[in-house]
Amino acid sequence: MKAKVTVTLKHGVLDPQGKAIGHALQTLGFDGVGEVRQGKLIELELEETDPAKAKAAVEAMCQRLLSNTVIENYAIELV
């Protein structure tokens, strides 16, 4: 079973990386681009085959390692 975890900065948290991308796009001539935010995508290969248990395990991983819950949100998708 595969899990996709997306980690994004919470609303209101400054995102200098996203801002830099936005500026670079403008410099390249791409107009009409508003806010840009950058996040992380983590793909995990899991041995667990039960979706509920897999989700619980990935949830624990997000809490302990994959995200900083003070400033980041995470979303889990099982594939």
User: Residues 41, 52, 70, 79: which binds its own copies (CB under 8 A)?
Assistant: 41
Least distance in angstroms from the C-beta of 11 to its own copies: 12
Bridge partners, 9 (sequence order): 72
Assigned token pair, 22: 């936005």
Block residue for tokens 């791409």: 30
Least distance in angstroms from the C-beta of 45 to its own copies: 3
Rule CB under 8 A: say whether 57 interacts with its own copies. yes
Report the candidate in 51, 74, 63 with the shortest Cα–Cα distance to residue 1.
Answer: 51
**Letter for the amino acid at 46?**
L
Site for its own copies, rule CB under 8 A? 6-8, 18, 21, 24-25, 28, 30-48, 57, 60-61, 64-66
